[in-house]
Amino acid sequence: LRMWFVSYGIGRPSEAWMWRQMIGIKRLEPRIVTWELGTQSEQEEKELSEKAVHVLPFEQTPSDGNRRWVYRFRCLPERNYYASVGAERRALTDLMQETKPDVVLCQYGYAGLRMLPVVKAFRVPLVVHFHGLDVSSGLRNRWYRWSLLRALPLFSAIIVVGEHQQRWMRDQGVPEEKLHLIPCGVPVREFDASQGVMAQPCRFLSVGRFVTKKSPLDTIRAFARCARENREIAMVMIGDGPLRKEAENLSNTLGVRAQITFLGVQPNARVKEEMQQAGVFVQHSVTADDGDMEGWPVGIAEAMASALPVVATRHGGILQQIEHGTNGFLVDEHDWKSMGQA
């Protein structure tokens, strides 16, 4: 069988799960179709060289920006305001005619809507894999919500990563035979148990983008509360984003800047190394003001594969990952005092 593996972007540091899925599909012959392509290591370059790849020379998100109204007008006949149009649709049609895929797998609802008109024309099954913002904050965009609700019956199969997403799909009338709950797992054999779990002073680790949903400021507040009782502890924070500068300033204000190492974005190999040295993994996920939520945080799964206890929040798919008091501790969103105590 021949498959198209479609995503707006391939190789982003925050989407290691997507790379594993793409490379791990062995029984199909996947062709990568994307608008943006990158690699984080020589190993990824080697793995990618063994795949058929097609990078589309078109705007990645025409639904955003100043020209979005022109784009929406062109999409009006189908009432799908994220559909491929014009030269892009013709290029996708030609590529589909040439490669004749048996199935198309799209990462995120946005890509599923983009591919829908082309797939319909060829009557190829379309499978859409939803992850987080595409079934949370994205739904506050009426253009996306209208498009998605009309399209759900047209998708051949729908994959979600968390039970809260599964419930939403059921509420929209998606039949059980079409709906599949498949969390993004990790290749456990690639992770060794951390050697730092019992080490003192404790070394905490946080991995994630510096965005509202990850609430790095609450993580730092919790760490500072803990540090008042033990000035020897340390924390490593991996990631970058709009809240990075504010996070560094807060660590200065709270007097813990010397105990926190901000590493920025790191390749997956470095993340694994840090997990081998850490004692506890921390993640203070919250529902952002725009409604953005976690699906099923892969960073937590990787930490668990490294035998790390986890301190996190009662949020999204984390409730299916952490059993309070067994493999970690859970606190309420924004309750950084309880997180510090944990």
The length of the chain is: 342
The pLDDT of residue 140? 92
Residue 291 confidence (pLDDT): 87
DSSP, res 66: T
Instruction: Report how far residue 287's alpha carbon sits from residue 194's, in angstroms, rounded to the nearest whole number.
Output: 30
Residue pair 38/11 in contact by the 8 Å Cβ criterion: yes
Radius of gyration of the chain (CA): 21
325: amino acid identity, one letter: G
pLDDT at position 295: 86
Tell me how far apart the terminal alpha carbons of the chain are, to the nearest angstrom: 49
CA angle 246, 249, 252 (to 5 degrees): 155
Return per-residue pLDDT of the chain as tens, 342 residues: 899 999 999 988 888 889 989 988 888 889 999 999 988 888 888 888 888 999 999 999 999 888 999 999 999 998 999 999 999 999 999 999 999 999 999 999 999 999 999 999 999 999 999 998 899 999 999 999 999 999 999 999 999 999 999 999 999 999 999 999 999 888 899 899 999 998 999 999 999 999 999 999 999 999 999 999 898 999 999 999 999 999 999 999 999 999 999 999 998 889 999 999 999 999 999 999 888 888 889 999 999 999 999 999 999 889 999 999 999 999 999 999 999 999
Burial status of residue 200 (CB atoms within 10 A of its CB: 0-12, 13-18, 19 or more): exposed
> With contact defined as beta carbons under 8 Å apart, do 1 and 103 qualify?
yes
Q: What is the pLDDT of residues 163-177, one digit of tens each?
A: 999 999 999 999 999
Given a contact cutoff of 8 angstroms between Cβ atoms, the answer to whether 247 and 275 are in contact is no
- pLDDT value, residue 316: 87
Helix (H, G, I), strand (E, B) or coil at 3: strand
Treating both helix axes as pointing N-terminal to C-terminal, what angle do 216-227 and 244-253 enclose, rounded to 10 degrees?
A: 20
- pLDDT for 41 equals 82
Which pLDDT value is given to residue 39?
Answer: 84
Strand order in the sheet with 126-129: 52-55, 29-34, 2-7, 103-107, 126-129, 157-160, 179-181
Q: State the amino acid at position 206 in one-letter form.
A: S
Give how far Cα 87 sits from Cα of 42, 120, 123, 198, Å: 34, 17, 21, 59
pLDDT digits (tens, 9 = 90+) for 121-137: 999 999 999 998 899 99
Whether 116 contacts 83, CB under 8 Å: yes
What integer pLDDT is reported at residue 82 of this predicted model?
Answer: 96
Structure tokens at 104: 């198309």
**CB within 8 Å of 202: residues ≥ 6 apart:** 230, 233, 234, 279, 280
- Whole-number pLDDT of residue 222: 97
**Are the C-beta atoms of 196 and 203 separated by less than 8 Å?**
yes
Spatial separation of the C-alpha atoms in residues 228 and 209, rounded to whole Å: 26
Residue 271: per-residue pLDDT: 93
- For residue 37, give both structure tokens: 């392509």
CB 312 within 8 A of CB 296: no
Helix (H) or strand (E) holding 55: strand 52-55
